[in-house]
């Protein structure tokens, strides 16, 4: 592989005697990873039902390696059920090292395609709010799909510049993750196309952008809150010096230690401008030391920890919510165990959303989704959404058809076909049924006389 001469000289200075080991790892195969969606299934249960061979990623509780050159992991019904996300092993690290608890208000600043946002959302356990943002509208669409496949409903999916978000969310978030746009040096081994992009826009270009993003994010973090900054590059300007810039601009921030692993390397404080030894608490990941690609992480806290959560903004717009739940929706909800509060319902035309608690008015921002998309109010009926199907658990809806993964009707349903299910229900039964695979929802169908009319979202369908 032809690497730029400037990059090679920099890595020789950075790695010293380890440089030859680093270059040698370019001859080794890449590592493929998947991360279990613990909002839907436990790690232990997934290990029991996983249809292909997996091996633990030792520094990630719910991370596994799989043989990506032999297995089509994205072509299995469990993937469509949102039981796992395909993610490079080192890239799993940032979301794993940001402590998120149920009820937190969390921001993923540069979230597409959703690898980190989906993990943060799973940690929230349906409480609090996940704001997932990506400046690219096209990338944000992919982000939204991944969030909905994972069954995360307490969300705001946005497509804005971080600077504009600040006007709405100053001092609002408990936790913020910044997986910053970067020169991508840590991905050279995985993807040769990144090298060409590096030659067009190198570290200096991205360092300026990163400094802007991290200071904007700092102002959206509430006092005592935590922020995780990460890149997939090796350059000191994009890593340690960006953290230095934050500390110079906002001295109330402090670097915190993270849970370690034997392959992690300390941040290069000695190459920074300030020679701040606290930078040793940041983490570097190198592909010649671990089974993963290159990464950098820094965990920071804004001031001292707070004993109690500060509610800087609340969901208090009196125009939001409904006075009475529409009859058709109420009739459908009787078949669920969901505790839907009318003050958190929003209806726009025919479309019904269930909003997270304690969010500010975001009018004026570009967004793709606010809250859980429940479905649509049609004439004399309510039609549940694909997002609601993925949000529900088997025990939360009365009418279900649970197919084993070996049943050929599973794939036919995912392709959008109508299927016969008279071996599961009587001919008298009718209405909205939730189709499952081995107990995990795939989507809704309209049942009539033993035939399930397919309501699986067309844009998500199985492609042969």
Choosing from 25, 110, 232, 265, the catalytic residue is: 232
Which among 87, 441, 463, 464 is positioned nearest to 455, based on CA atoms?
441
Please indicate whether residue 232 is annotated as part of the active site. yes
Interatomic CA distance for residues 282 and 228, integer angstroms: 10
3-state secondary structure of 51: coil
Q: How far is CA 225 from CA 178, 211, 241, in A?
A: 14, 19, 21
- Distance from C-alpha of 153 to C-alpha of 369, rounded to nearest angstrom: 10
**What's the rounded Cα separation, in Å, for the pair 115 and 352?**
27
Q: What's the rounded Cα separation, in Å, for the pair 169 and 362? A: 9
Cβ-based burial of 413 (10 A; exposed 0-12, middle 13-18, buried ≥19): buried
> Can you read off the two tokens belonging to residue 354?
């269930």
Strands (E), 105-220: 105-108, 129-133, 155-158, 173-179
As annotated, the active-site residues are 232
């Amino acid at each position: 592989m032809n690497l730029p001469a400037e990059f090679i000289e920099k890595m020789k200075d950075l790695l010293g005697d380890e440089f030859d080991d680093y270059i040698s790892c370019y001859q080794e195969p890449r590592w493929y990873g998947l991360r279990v969606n613990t909002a839907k299934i436990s790690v232990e249960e997934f290990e029991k039902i996983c249809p292909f061979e997996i091996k633990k990623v030792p520094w990630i509780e719910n991370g596994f390696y799989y043989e990506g050159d032999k297995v089509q992991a994205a072509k299995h019904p469990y993937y469509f059920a949102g039981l796992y996300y395909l993610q490079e092993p080192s890239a799993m690290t940032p979301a794993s090292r940001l402590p998120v608890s149920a009820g937190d208000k969390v921001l993923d600043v540069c979230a597409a395609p959703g690898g980190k946002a989906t993990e943060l959302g799973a940690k929230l356990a349906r409480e609090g709010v996940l704001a997932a943002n990506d400046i690219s509208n096209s990338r944000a669409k992919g982000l939204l799909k991944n969030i909905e496949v994972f069954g995360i409903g307490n969300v705001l999916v946005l497509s804005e510049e971080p600077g504009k978000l600040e006007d709405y969310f100053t001092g609002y978030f408990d936790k913020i993750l910044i997986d910053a746009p970067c020169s991508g040096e840590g991905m050279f081994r995985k993807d040769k196309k990144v090298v060409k992009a590096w030659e067009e826009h190198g570290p200096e270009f991205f360092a300026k952008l990163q400094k802007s993003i991290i200071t904007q994010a700092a102002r959206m973090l509430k006092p005592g809150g935590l922020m995780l900054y990460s890149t997939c590059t090796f350059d000191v300007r994009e890593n340690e010096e960006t953290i230095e810039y934050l500390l110079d601009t906002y001295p109330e921030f402090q670097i915190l230690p993270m849970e370690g692993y034997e392959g992690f390397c300390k941040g290069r404080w000695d190459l920074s401008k300030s020679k701040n030894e606290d930078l040793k608490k940041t983490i570097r990941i190198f592909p010649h030391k671990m089974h993963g690609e290159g990464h950098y992480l820094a965990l920071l806290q804004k001031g001292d920890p707070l004993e109690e959560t500060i509610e800087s903004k609340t969901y208090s717009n009196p125009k939001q919510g409904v006075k009475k739940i529409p009859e058709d929706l109420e009739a459908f909800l009787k078949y669920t165990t969901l505790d839907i509060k009318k003050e958190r319902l929003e209806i726009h035309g025919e479309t019904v959303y269930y909003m997270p608690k304690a969010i500010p008015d975001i009018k004026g921002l570009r967004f793709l989704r606010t809250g859980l998309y429940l479905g649509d109010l049609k004439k004399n009926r309510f039609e549940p959404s694909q997002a609601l199907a993925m949000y529900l658990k088997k025990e939360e809806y009365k009418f279900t058809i649970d197919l084993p993964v070996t049943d050929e009707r599973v794939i036919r349903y995912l392709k959008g076909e109508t299927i016969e299910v008279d071996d599961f229900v009587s001919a008298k039964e009718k209405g909205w049924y939730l189709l499952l695979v081995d107990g995990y929802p795939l989507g809704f169908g309209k049942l009539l006389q033993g035939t399930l009319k397919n309501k699986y979202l067309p844009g998500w369908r199985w492609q042969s």
